[in-house]
């Protein structure tokens, strides 16, 4: 077994037999490991729910939460006066 990269976390996930066979077949067809497919799926899930997936995204989002960092609002244009 290859050494895990520093900071990695290991968890067990249980799948029913049909799902496991479908994942295994997808991994063979796409020439990706089940681990790669799982990482892609979790990354997509986090994006779907607007959660940052990298440190860079986390920092960018935390800066965006501060109103002082927002650009000033554009001045509202007045509607032209209508002639009666």
Supply the pLDDT for residue 77: 80
CB atoms closer than 10 angstroms to residue 32: 14
Distance (Å, whole) CA 27 – CA 31: 6
Rounded distance between C-alpha atoms, residue 20 and residue 68, angstroms? 49
pLDDT digits (tens, 9 = 90+) for 24-69: 999 999 999 999 999 999 999 998 988 888 888 888 877 766 666 6
Q: Is the pTM of this model over 0.85?
A: no
């Amino acid at each position: 077994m290859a050494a895990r990269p520093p900071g990695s976390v290991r968890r067990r996930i249980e799948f029913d037999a049909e799902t496991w066979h479908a994942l295994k077949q997808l991994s063979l067809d796409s020439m990706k490991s089940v681990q790669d497919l799982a990482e892609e799926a979790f990354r997509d899930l986090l994006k779907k729910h607007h959660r940052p997936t990298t440190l860079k995204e986390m920092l960018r989002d935390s800066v965006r939460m501060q109103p002082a960092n927002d650009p000033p609002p554009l001045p509202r244009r007045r509607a032209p006066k209508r002639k009666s």
